[in-house]
A and B are shown apart, each in its own frame.
Chain A
Amino acid sequence: MKTQTYSLNLGPQHPSTHGVFRIILELDGETVVKATPVPGYLHRGIEKLAEARTYTQVIPYTDRMDYLAGMLMNWGYVQAVEKLMGIEVPERAEYIRVIVGELSRIASHMIATGAYGGDIGALTAFTYTFRDREYCIDLLEMVSGSRMTFSYFRVGGVADDLPGEFYPAARKFLADLPGMCDEYDGLITGNEIFQARTKHVGVITPEMGINYSLSGPTLRGSGVNYDLRKVRPYSVYDRLNFEVPLGKNGDCFDRFRIRIEEMRQCGKIIQQALDQIPEGSIQAKVPKVIKPPVGDAYAEVESSKGVYGCYLVSDGSPKPYRVHFRRPSFINLGYLAKLCEGWKIADVIAILGSIDIVLGEVDC
C-alpha cells in the first residue's frame, strides 16, 4: 500500500511547546520524518532596544529574556559591563549575587521539573513544584521587590542589601528543599509510566552535544562535565563546594533527573554562601553616568538553561553600540530537528520538554 506523508503544525498556540513556539512536523503515520522548528513569535528586539538605552537601563530588559531565572540574566549582562570598565565588585555583592542567582536557578528548575511532568501527563507534579516555587520566589521578592522580573543587579554590585528577614526565611527554605526534591523524585522520577515514556527517548550522544554547542543540563545529561561554575569559575564559585550532577545515557530521563539533582546542589551552594557572606559594601564605586571606554567585552555565566553570554561593544558613549546575547535555550534548540526524527508525536513533546526552553529567551 502506498502512503503519503503529511505535515502537522505543532504550536504556536499549544501549551506543550512552552510558549509561542511552532514545529512543523512531517509525519508518516505517527512517526516524524522531518521536523522544522519555527521560532520568532516572541521576538521583541531586545538587542536593538538596548542600543537606545543607557547601560543601566538595559538591565530591566535582560530580565525579560529568561523570565524564569531573571537574576541570572541580569548577571551575565552586568558582568560584561563590569569587564568592559574593569570594575571590581565588592565581595559581599558577589555573595549576594550567588545567593539570588542560585535561588533563581532553583525557581527555574522547579518550573522545568513540574512542566515536564505535565508534558508527560503527570499534572500533579506541576502543582507540587509550583507550590514550592512560590516560597522560593517569596525570598527573591523580599530582596528585590518583584516576583519575576527583578532588575536587581546593578553595574558594580546589586540594588539593595539583603533585608534582615531574608536570612531566617532562606534558612527555612533551604531546610525544606531536600524534602521538596524527594517529593518530586517520589512523584515523578520513580514513576514507572514516566520512566517508560522518557528513558532511551531522544538520546543525545556526548559528541553530538558538543558539536551542536549544547550547554546546561541538556549537555550534562549526556555525561559531559561542563559547568561554567566549575570549569571557569566566575564570581566566588571557586570558594564554594558543590558537585555537578551528570547523566549517563543522554536521554530525556537523564536531562530531567539532573535538574532535580542540581536543585539539591543549589541548596548546598546557598547554604555555604550564607555562612561565608562577609560584611561590607554592596556596590563598587562607579561613575553616575556609565561610559565604558571604546572596546568590546564578552562575559558568560551558567544560567539555568546553559551558558548565557553577553557581548558588548562600546563606542565610548553612554549607550551601548551593540549588545548581543548568547541565549542557551535558542542554541539548545538547534539540535531539536535532528533529535525528533524517527520518534512519534508524543515523543516530540517529551523531547522538547526535556530541553527546557523558555521562549522569551529563544526569541529575545
Chain B
Amino acid sequence: MFGQGLIKGLQITWGRLLDKKHTVKYPYEKIEMFPRFHGRFELDVEKCIACGLCANACPNKVIEMEKEKVDKKQFLTKYVMRIEYCLFCGLCVESCNKDALKFTNVLDMNQYRRSWVRLSLVDRPAPEAAEEAPKEETPAKTVKVEAAAGQAPVKEG
C-alpha cells in the first residue's frame, strides 16, 4: 500500500518523542572529555630540559622556544605555541622523552582576538650566574612562570 513507508517513518519519530536527551546545554553544561583528549597544552617546566625535540617534531612549526645556557645547563626562557597553526596531532607530546609536554582536556581555547590565541607556556628571564642566584630563588621563578602561563585572557574556559 502506498504510504506505508511514510507511516513507518512517522512511527519512528513519534517513538523517539519522549526519548532521553542526547545533547547538553553547552556552555552551561559540559561533557567530561576522555583522558586522551587533545585539549590545551600544559608544560611542566620542572621536567622540561629544553631539548627542542617537540619543536622539531611539529609539522607546522607551532612551537617557538628560547633558551639560555646557565651553569652548563639549558635554561628555558620562552616557550610559546602558535596555537592558531596547531593541528592537534600530538606528535610533539609523543616526542617528549621527559613527559613534560602534555595535553589537558580543556577544550575551549576560543578568544576574541587572534593575538590572544597564542599560548605562552613559559616566559621568564634566565637567572643570573650560579654564584649570585641562590637556590631559594627557584620557587619564586616558578610562581612567575605560572603567572605567565595564565596570560591568556580567559584562564579556564
Contacts and interface: CB of A to CB of B under 8 A. Distances in A.
B34 A141 contact: yes
A23 to B, nearest CB: 30
Contact of A192 (B6, B11, B12, B13): B6
A138 B34 CA distance: 9
A195 B9 CA distance: 13
Given A53-B59, A145-B103, A195 B5 contact: yes
B9 A191 contact: yes
Interface in B1-55: 2-6, 8-9, 11-13, 22, 33-38
A144 B59 contact: no
16 contacts: A54-B59, A59-B91, A60-B59, A63-B89, A141-B36, A143-B36, A145-B90, A149-B87, A160-B36, A163-B36, A183-B12, A190-B9, A192-B3, A192-B5, A192-B6, A195-B5
Which 4 A-B residue pairs are closest in the complex by CB-CB distance?
Answer: A57-B59, A190-B5, A60-B89, A151-B89
B99 to A, nearest CB: 15
A59 B91 CA distance: 10
B88 interface: yes
Interface of A: 53-54, 56-61, 63, 124, 131, 134, 138, 141-146, 149, 151, 159-160, 163, 165, 183, 186-188, 190-195
B71 interface: no
Interface of A is mostly: helix
A154 to B, nearest CB: 9
Interface residues of B, number: 27
B9 A151 contact: no
Nearest to B33: A141
B13 A124 contact: yes
Contacts of A183: 12
A154 B69 CA distance: 35
A131 B22 contact: yes
Contacts of A165: 34
Contacts, number: 77
A186 B36 contact: no
Given A143-B36, A144-B36, A193-B6, A149 B88 contact: yes
Nearest to B36: A145
A255 to B, nearest CB: 19
A63 to B, nearest CB: 8
Nearest to B12: A186
A191 B6 contact: yes
A192 B2 contact: yes
B17 to A, nearest CB: 12
B94 interface: yes
B22 A59 contact: no
Contacts of A63: 89
Nearest to B13: A124
A57 B91 contact: yes
B91 A151 contact: yes
B59 A61 contact: yes
Given A131-B22, A159-B94, A192-B3, A145 B8 contact: no
Contacts of B9: 124, 186-188, 190-191
